[in-house]
Structure 1
């Protein structure tokens, strides 16, 4: 594949012929597209994945974004959908039938686990969870009816990594599809397709959009796989991305490589502060030299994002609550990947929390002055 550099993709790819010499891509806010004659109309309908017929399928604004993200991820094609979980669901369902089995990393996104635990069993699909840090564990979990190995590397609360090359080599030998959530690293810092992974999914609501103002997902892979997803799950489920949402993400990815560099720089400063703080038990971040899988992180990824976790030195929920409420510059909210810093204690996710997870705090380090964030954390930690 003739590789373009990141700036070529983000600023120039597919942008040579905008009407009237427009600098920004037009928003094609239309539901349908018309044809001059019967012959052209019939030809388009016979190949809907490659034609503009109805914006539920293709739309020029949407397709421009798909072209750019596919190229960033070193894939052949991409499909934008209306949320990250839609990207996950479309990808998983399209390669399954009743009686099939999935191997999935245990610490994956909560809605991925919801799909496996509550939705797919209704159709006779079973699953096995694995830690994922040991490839042999994944191999041992595979059954004769395993059709998908689902990965998330790093995971988004504990940041466990999987060895993508080892897993993809094994999966190909067994004709098993591999799917990975690559939202944390983004295509700037990790390209799973280069290691043989079949399908890459993202929550485009996060770093791709970058402004906490869109909800979207995207699926990337080989032409035949994305076409298959398009013609099966995508068209029937109808999780359609609207053109304005695609345009907002196009705006966001213009600065993706610059934003990620700053998130990474800020995250390392916050990480070093937390590691040295007497009120912190430990920090979970793949690019911490003390992280158990640090060498694998350096091998598979070019850098890190702004999401990390740490444990407070307390076993009291009251202290976790007080710490969380005392924070000023970290907004208390779900999700991550925007310009702003966020905080989410694990304890807000459940009433039945173990002592091990009770002090776990996840933060997203945004684009603010890192010293401001350090001071904010330092002040809140005084209550521990």
Structure 2
């Protein structure tokens, strides 16, 4: 299916809403039925019926159809946040007594789900170095039910060999879930590599404007419908029609945004690699990166996230560098029009547990600004260190 068709036409029955170019926001909590039999049929087929917005809503459904098609999935279900999608996907596949093997150093709240929440309900989790697929095999137990991937993962951007991990999962009849937020559906489609469920923080590249939140699970229709009638309807992490409309708006420009972000990021990274005050640039699309060939195989293009290690053992100098940047906002998340940094140094505080990552690591996200504009800003900040 052509990407232009998916983004601009799929699911858009304009003749049903006055041929409006932009779809309407169906801002309602409830949908009426004409007869008892009509209501009965909606209740019997609620995963596919429009009965109540906490289940289905036409604006949200349009978004789900488009993202499912972009991922090459049969179906998708949207949530109020990326973490809502991650949690529902994982919870749908495990129960007390089960075991999960997860890539280590995932997104921070995924890490909390794996290390804190699941063990409270009798689910054991083993975190492994995902750069070697055999580490997943080595961690398997008779009770293992799920392999969880995030490729590339947060902050340090290690990749997993998706096809190799899927082969291990299939050999042992296990489910695979991957967080594909880093790449977006534009740059990586894990379902084509055999992954069972793909999750996204739609807050990031899908939204693209830093003005809304959302999450999505993509997979086989049967699996998605099972999640609908269980975790989705029970936990209620619903995406509002207005937020779905904002995410639809984001989809319209996603291919152009992703292309611009990729080009600018390559220019900034190439400049950073030559700077004496930078110890290392963590970016899978650098030829010097140990997983460069795997990155080229699995991803169609680079995206806007990378990290740098500043060449200093003085946390004060790291803070000075970050505080001196004038055109990078200091904030969490990424994927919008604005360039960002997130310094690990902010996690270092007296009396708190020392983070697992070094204080001189700074995560960058490149937005839609001009490359030279950003490089000049980094240069003046480095000059002060």
Superposition TM-score tier, normalisation by shorter sequence: over 0.9
Distance in structure 2 (CA, Å) of the matches to 1:350 and 1:78 = 39
Aligned to 1:14: 11
1:265-322 deviations in Å (ceiling 9; x for gaps): 0100010010001110110111111111000000001001111001100011000110
How many residues were matched structurally? 381
CA shift at 1:354, angstroms? 6.5
- Tell me if structure 2 keeps the 8 A contact 1:315–1:355: no
Aligned to 1:76: 74
- Tell me if structure 2 keeps the 8 A contact 1:66–1:78: yes
SS in structure 2 at match of 1:147: strand
- Tell me if structure 1 keeps the 8 A contact 2:347–2:355: no
- From 213, 217, 220, the counterpart of 2:218: 220
- Tell me if structure 1 keeps the 8 A contact 2:3–2:70: yes
SS in structure 1 at match of 2:90: helix
SS in structure 1 at match of 2:18: helix
* Structure 2 unmatched ranges of 5 or more: none
1:198-235 deviations in Å (ceiling 9; x for gaps): 00001111100000001111111110111111111110
Distance in structure 2 (CA, Å) of the matches to 1:152 and 1:228 = 23
Aligned to 2:362: 361
Distance in structure 1 (CA, Å) of the matches to 2:354 and 2:291 = 26
CA shift at 1:358, angstroms? 1.6
Q: Quick check: 117-126 or 10-19, which moved more?
A: 10-19
- Tell me if structure 2 keeps the 8 A contact 1:156–1:307: no
Distance in structure 2 (CA, Å) of the matches to 1:375 and 1:367 = 15
Distance in structure 2 (CA, Å) of the matches to 1:33 and 1:172 = 42
1:156-190 deviations in Å (ceiling 9; x for gaps): 20000001111112102211110000001100000
In the alignment, structure 1 residue 85 sits paired with structure 2 residue 86? no
* Structure 1 unmatched ranges of 5 or more: none
Aligned to 2:131: 133
CA shift at 1:193, angstroms? 0.2
Distance in structure 1 (CA, Å) of the matches to 2:43 and 2:348 = 49
- Tell me if structure 1 keeps the 8 A contact 2:344–2:357: no
CA shift at 1:350, angstroms? 3.6
Equivalence map 1:1-384=2 (5 Å):
4-17=1-14, 18-351=16-349, 352-353=353-354, 357-384=358-385
TM-score, normalising length: structure 2 = 0.97
SS in structure 2 at match of 1:128: strand
Seen in structure 2, the aligned counterparts of structure 1 residues 224 and 378 have a Cα distance that, compared at 3 Å, is same
Structure 1 residue runs of 4 or more that deviate by more than 2 Å after TM superposition: 349-356
1:78-98 deviations in Å (ceiling 9; x for gaps): 110011110100000011110
- RMSD of the alignment, in Å? 1.1
1:112-149 deviations in Å (ceiling 9; x for gaps): 11111211111111100101000111110111111111
SS in structure 2 at match of 1:256: helix
1:59-91 deviations in Å (ceiling 9; x for gaps): 000000000000000001011001111010000
TM-score, normalising length: structure 1 = 0.97
